[in-house]
Structure 1
Amino acid sequence: MMNMKIRIAGNTASPCYFAIKAKGYQVEIFSYLESEKENEWSFDYNATKDDLFFSATSPEELLGLISMWETRGDNWRANEKEADEYWDITCNIPMYDRDGNLIENK
């Protein structure tokens, strides 16, 4: 039984922001008006520390990039084997229609 369940939602942005700050990063947030008519905005979140720079469109994504680099280091990019394996994984996942029914013949 899983006791901890977290999914990205409106209540995850600020904890991720403060987790990044706790790791010693400076965080800058920029907003850009996408559509005056619809009053739509987009955001960029940048984190810097020493000679490191990370950029994403949400604090959750930003923390994910930082975590990836902390785990994998300067060789963070997927090698050919990893890229192929990830491709195979994503090509073989179950697919569902809008009503949640499994699509048998994909």
Structure 2
Amino acid sequence: MKSQLTNAGNTIVPAYLALLARGLSIVKEPSAFTESGMIWVAEDTTTQFSAEDLVTLLGLVAMQETRGAGWQASDEEIESFFAKYGVP
């Protein structure tokens, strides 16, 4: 049987702990650009990440770890994604 992991309330602390395990410092700061008025920020000596929640923040870190500094999708990757899944 496959294990299952779903973004829910019980993933917040594990996401925080995973960010700490990567050596990132984490703070929660006021933000005029979010619905909650707060934003999570994680950073190391070279990069700063920010998101409205810790699971999304961990996703950004994982994206950069996986794709590197050139994390952005190419035009071809974008077209392939939309061809497969449609426009959001």
Q: Partners in 2 of 1:81 and 1:51 — Cα distance?
A: 29
Whether the 8 Å CA contact 1:43–1:58 is kept in 2: the answer is: no
Picking from 40, 45, 52, the partner of 1:50 is 45
Which residue identity does 1:9 align to in structure 2? A
Percent identity of equivalent pairs: 32
Corresponding position: 1:73 with 2:72: no
TM-score normalized by the length of structure 2:
0.86
Pair 1:14-2:13 in alignment: yes
Query: Partners of 1:84 and 1:9 in 2: how far apart?
Result: 31
What RMSD in Å do the two structures reach over aligned CA positions?
1.9
Over 3 Å counting, the alpha-carbon distance change for 1:32 and 1:68 in structure 2 is closer
Deviations, residues 34-80 of structure 1 (Å, cap 9, x unaligned) = xxxxxx83431101101111011110000000000001111100001
Q: Which has the higher contact order (CA 8 A, sep 6+)?
A: 2
Tell whether the 8 Å contact from 1:54 to 1:65 is kept in structure 2 after alignment: yes
Q: List structure 1 runs of 4+ shifted beyond 4 angstroms.
A: none
Unaligned runs of 5+ in 2: none
The one of 65, 70, 78 aligned to 1:83: 78
In structure 2, how many angstroms separate the alpha carbons of the residues matched to 1:41 and 1:78? 29
Instruction: Tell me the secondary structure at the aligned position of residue 46 of structure 1.
Output: strand
Gaps of 5+ in 1: 34-39, 93-106
Q: Does 1:64 align with 2:63?
A: no
Structure number with greater Rg is 1
Name whichever structure is richer in helix by fraction: 2
Aligned residues: 85
